[in-house]
Amino acid sequence: MFAYTTAAAVFTFFVIAPLSMANNMTLWLLMYSFVMFLFMFFMVSKTAFSIGKAERYDNNLHPNIAKGFLYGTAAMIPYLILGLIHLLIFDNSLEIGLRIFHYIFRCALGPMYFMINTLEYTWYAFLAAYATVPVISGLWYIMGLKGIEKLSITKKIKDDEDFLK
């Protein structure tokens, strides 16, 4: 939860720069959101990997492949609750207090904005945004649990290069 919250806070703090650019504000915001997504991806993946690696050697913690997905889901629950509350009460004609809540909701999902915007604000855009952290967390936790230090794609490419010589 800390890794995603940090990415959302950094997004909120630095969102002023893309918003201050009058020309192509949406494009700048999408690019900024993608950069923050990469920042969040590296933080979540590194954290999940190190937790998986630590639990690999500690049998008292009962390591399980599903734990990484559960950690990611638990981290997104506050944001899911925020989204459900937003869905129930938001209306463009509401007073200022609820408009502020709307902006808090938008900043909380800031690192996922490029995904939500690309999928045109549909229900599956929000589903994909909320599922991203659990999937990243789960996959990198499994890598740490299994002791996979780096992906084996590079070895396959190297073998292909040697074949072509």
Q: What is the pLDDT of residues 52-93, one digit of tens each?
A: 998 888 877 778 889 999 999 998 898 888 777 777 776 655
pLDDT band at 18 (very low <50, low <70, confident <90, very high): low
Residue 153, amino acid: I
Asked if the model's pLDDT at residue 39 lies above 80, the reply is yes
Q: Is 26 exposed, middle or buried (0-12, 13-18, 19+ CB in 10 A)?
A: exposed
Q: Report which DSSP code applies to 148.
A: -
Asked if the model's pLDDT at residue 13 lies above 80, the reply is no
* pLDDT at residue number 58: 80
* pLDDT at residue number 107: 73
Average pLDDT over residues 92-110: 67
Distance in Å from the first CA to the final CA of the chain: 47
What is the chain's Cα-based Rg? 19
Q: Are 29 and 111 in contact (CB under 8 A)?
A: no
Q: What percent of the chain lies above the pLDDT cut of 90?
A: 15
Distance CA 147, CA 139 (A): 12
Residue 64 parent element (H or E): none
The larger pLDDT score, comparing residue 33 to residue 9, is at 33
38-67 burial, b if ≥16 CB within 10 A, otherwise e?
ebbbebbbebbbebbbebeeeeeeebeeeb
Distance CA 114, CA 36 (A): 10
Distance CA 103, CA 47 (A): 28
pTM for this one?
Answer: 0.74
Domain coverage including residue 41: 2-164
Averaged confidence pLDDT in the chain:
78
* pLDDT at residue number 138: 94
* pLDDT at residue number 121: 80
Asked if the model's pLDDT at residue 97 lies above 90, the reply is no
* pLDDT at residue number 61: 75
Torsion, Cα 138 139 144 147, to 10 degrees, reads: 140
Number of domains in the chain: 1
Q: Are 44 and 3 in contact (CB under 8 A)?
A: yes
